[in-house]
A and B are shown apart, each in its own frame.
Chain A
């Protein structure tokens, strides 16, 4: 009875694709077991099988040495299996405590017994250093905190086997460190954790063993301590990956985007704070400018204002020499601007449309895709096919796949493909590689650099410090809505960048509202 979980020879098919093909996964008690694989390799599917959301077509599952049939999450819970999905499942207008208790309430005489629940939650939170406030509303707490609530939910149900599906994709670097710490604590207590991530650093930092999948098949299981990152990434994508990019020096050309004293007030009721505070900067042809900052310092609102999703409260935006401050979103989109949005499910995709329809979401109105108001579906599907080839977007039924059923990383690739392929003069990319595997990241990075080298302008917003340092010609640090530094990545270290981002350092001469060119 060495293994607490054994998934033996699991096969799961979807229309047009074998998502898991005879996959075996064994997890020991008290270990942190990483699950690694390209986008669409079948990781989420395998975990959904373990959690009872999908029934496998073949194969069996043993828990604590006994063969079991897991019909649904309820059965999974009874076996001590809990799962944190990549997109959280919390009730926004409930408190933390209510969310944790939901579905596992203890009642006496028909009344909820919240006092006991509260004590238990507080004790758990204390024990694992989670520090959550049980009475806070979910809608008021950060994504990192919401994740802890999800973890507490599992602990509250006395789950011993914890599945974390890409938990770090939505976290800031600080939050990731804290999560790793929590995970180690849980493992030390004897909990077993299955951890999905695309970031090899994280696997090296916390995992004991790692199972690698490729295109639905098992590639191998390795001890993390004895394996280096290069080997892991090679096992995963089947070739060597090089994430180091050397930008060829290049003189920036004429300005493409000129932002002058752009100001956005908080949209929250009763607040008059400026979330974007008189921001001014310029992005030229042939350069990648990166906005770096800790999440929640106004990046989102800045991008919304630039792309037209919200109207700014002051200042101006100039695109290719023309004022577009009051122009519509469609106007900007057809006059040189493309936008890879931060939230792919909210803005990036119409999940109920097919992949092809999503790929033309920004261009369906062009003459090649419509004539006299009638869509030219043959052209649309032909175009979709070329993008699918070019950007290696994997899915069950090609262009006809409903976007909803695609793996998270492939959804992201579809958005990136759509936006880059429009060949914009200015590409605003917010977290473009979130949730992508290293092979895909390498590809997207190359594409961004190619845009730059072709004389286009790129404005990159990223929380990933490696990405920021690697990819940009210039780094603008945003802190509390204001640009506090304009840095050359070659002249600073990651540590220094961190100090600027934390607000403990400011560049002289770049006072709020000052012109940064």
Chain B
């Protein structure tokens, strides 16, 4: 029973990736035909040049795995969390704040900072969750607004509390707030990878267990599949909607914390841009087939292309080209979803007294 649709799903993701890559190749051909072959080769192999590159893949994958999980978790309850961006930045701000002011915490400093990030993301998703459950305000509208409110609020708070006036960004966090490396720097020298990647893996596995093994996951999915039947079965669907959003927000917030506590010189810049990692979560969730373990791999895959794409400059290509390729894959993964639904409709017509 589980085999067939899964295969079909897997094929559609593969299809999106192939078409996206092909599209990228065409772009390389157009912009510089002589180097296109080499350039394409480097995209595919760049990530495996050396251990440092592999480490960078893990580093890039970490936040988008978490935002992918965030989008996926809400989706299981039938909610579209487009607000991961706002949740991420609010989480990031609280992490940076604690990272700056909490040096007294000693060894627990980074842990507390991450917990603050989780709380921030959760809080930011609680509001659209409550609006949806109590007033039936569509979560897409509410979370888009929360994205902007979050961005402007964080800009304001950074200036008020942890501002580096010279660079127009947040102050660096204390060394004790930087996420430890746990020996990863020995395996992947000079890369920025840290324990955050393990935390992302742990989050994915935990989420898998929650969704597929627990009573709570059973209820969440039931609400996602059929709200009326869930109500009928006595499931408190409002509570589940709020919880689902809060957990989704917590995951995105955690992603923000991990991103800005990585000790890589990344700071919250005071600019009017929504955090892109939040939106990347959507295609990651799509490519990962809305399955926590799939998302883990999808995040790694995007990280792999990003790192490979960095080396394009060696062949006189603009580094933005990799963004174009990623965008193409994202488009085609959405497109693949449509094809998949279409194939499924044809193949597995719904049963019942008559086809529905």
Contacts and interface: CB of A to CB of B under 8 A. Distances in A.
Contacts of A406: 351-352
Contacts of B352: 44, 86-87, 345, 404, 406-408, 411
Contacts of B168: none
A309 interface: yes
B230 A48 contact: no
A329 B354 contact: no
Given A350-B226, A397-B1, A48 B355 contact: yes
A453 to B, nearest CB: 28
B78 to A, nearest CB: 11
Interface string B331-356: 00000000000000000111111111
B216 A373 contact: yes
B214 interface: yes
A375 B353 contact: no
A200 B106 CA distance: 81
B107 interface: no
Interface in B225-261: 225-226, 228-236
Given A330-B234, A350-B230, A365-B215, A53 B353 contact: no
Interface string A394-408: 000100111011111
B234 to A, nearest CB: 3
A347 B349 CA distance: 21
Interface string B187-229: 0000000000000000000000000011110100110011011
Nearest to A167: B354
A351 B216 CA distance: 19
A86 B225 CA distance: 22
Nearest to B217: A375
A350 B222 contact: yes
A53 B346 CA distance: 7
Interface stretch (A228-236, A256-264, A269-277, A354-362): A354-362
A348 interface: yes
B218 A357 contact: yes
Nearest to B349: A53
Interface in B166-192: none
A166 B353 contact: yes
B340 to A, nearest CB: 15
Interface residues of B, number: 29
Contacts of A331: 234
Given A349-B229, A357-B218, A405 B348 contact: yes
Looking at chain A, what size class is its interface with the partner chain?
Answer: 35 or more
A370 B222 contact: no
A238 B283 CA distance: 55
Contacts of B349: 48, 53-54
A158 to B, nearest CB: 22
B274 to A, nearest CB: 33
Contacts of A334: 234
A361 B233 contact: yes
Nearest to A48: B355
Contacts of B236: 328, 330
A235 B314 CA distance: 79
Contacts of A374: 213-215
A361 to B, nearest CB: 5
Nearest to A16: B1
A346 B218 contact: no
List of 3 A-B pairs having minimum Cβ-Cβ separation, nearest first: A408-B353, A330-B234, A86-B353
Given A48-B355, A53-B349, 9 more contacts: A15-B4, A87-B352, A87-B356, A166-B353, A347-B229, A350-B230, A375-B213, A400-B1, A404-B350
